[in-house]
Amino acid sequence: MNTMIRKLVCWLTPAVLAYSAVALAQDKPAGYPVRPLRIIIGVQPGAGADFVARLTGKMLSERWGQNVVVDSRPGGGGVIASGIAAKAAPDGYTLYQNGFGLLLQGATKRVDFDVLKTFEPVVRTTSQPYILLVNPNLPAKSVKELIAHSAAKPLTYAGSSGVGSTVHLGMERFATLSDIKLKHVAYKGSAPSILALMGGEINMAATSAMSAIAAMKTGKVRAMASLGLKRIPVLPDLPTVAEQGFPGFSITNSYNLWVPAGTPPAIIAALNRVVSQGMNSPEVEKRLAASGSEGVDPIPPPELKAAVAREYAEIEQSVKQLGLKF
């Protein structure tokens, strides 16, 4: 190292360290976090939601130097998990991950609190379609053949998190559109649903792309259709339900991170910033794409709150139109 470069490095080092300290201070509120964080999820380990929660926790842990524990509380279509999260202190140390399922809980009155007043949305992490899996012994090879096959006997299916889940609502909507005969069977998450499908206990399972792709590799299930509006890049030969005669139909989910209402806005903003940056990094985008999922464009908390309110109104309307009772 020549003398000029050595002088330049000596001059720059204090400035770089000072800049890093300022950047870290701006990255999070003073005095937060000083202890481990917890992310509550309503499904069992191994599900798509579990994968996303652990990915989120890793980002926060690496950025802030605190452990992040993923707390799995399956059952009740997510009601058990949301009930625990709703009672947590609004201090930024308890986070709750859920997608449209939380809104469904409110719209179907399955919880005794107003979900939009009880929780604040922090950040939207990923978006992914569901995939309709069938037992390999089912003779139907297309959605139309499934519908015809159900005429003799209703087809049993499972959703990712039981009664009142996004899948439950979506499949009931599909039954109205197509006249397919279905019977819903509740399980605590995608993992037990897929195991039941492999064992022949049920005919079909609609589960997240992440869980479905892993199950497909075993050869013990068969993919019938993508439930998104477009084909999944890593499964280009798998047609959508929309392509198979039902344009506009889809079952997708977006995972949101929530905190109890009353959590300081500065903490919400900091969480939003770190997770948004992490989810849109090239490394994470590559991992998500391989699992059939994708990140979403960063959405500031106020805009996300408005979007969630619109989604809640749409879900309420769908529940009323279908006349669903849970």
192: confidence class by pLDDT, cuts 50, 70, 90: confident
Query: Domains along the chain?
Result: 35-128+252-322 (3.40.190.150), 129-226 (3.40.190.10)
Lowest mean pLDDT among 20-29, 146-155, 193-202: 20-29
Please write the tens of the pLDDT for every residue from 225-263: 999 989 999 999 999 999 999 999 998 888 999 999 999
| Residue 85: other Cβ atoms inside 10 A | 26
Please write the tens of the pLDDT for every residue from 131-173: 999 999 999 999 999 999 999 999 999 976 666 677 888 898 8
pLDDT of residue 5: 35
pLDDT of residue 86: 97
Q: CA gyration radius for the chain?
A: 22
Token pair 């499904």: residue: 43
Strand 68-72 relative to strand 204-208, pairing: unpaired
pLDDT of residue 100: 84
In the predicted structure, residue 22 carries a pLDDT above the cut 60: no
In the predicted structure, residue 11 carries a pLDDT above the cut 50: no
- Cα 244 to the center of its chain, rounded Å: 26
pLDDT of residue 253: 83
Please write the tens of the pLDDT for every residue from 65-116: 999 999 999 887 789 999 999 999 999 999 999 988 899 899 888 899 999 9
pLDDT of residue 1: 43
> What is the percent of the chain where pLDDT is above 70?
90
| Residue 259: other Cβ atoms inside 10 A | 23
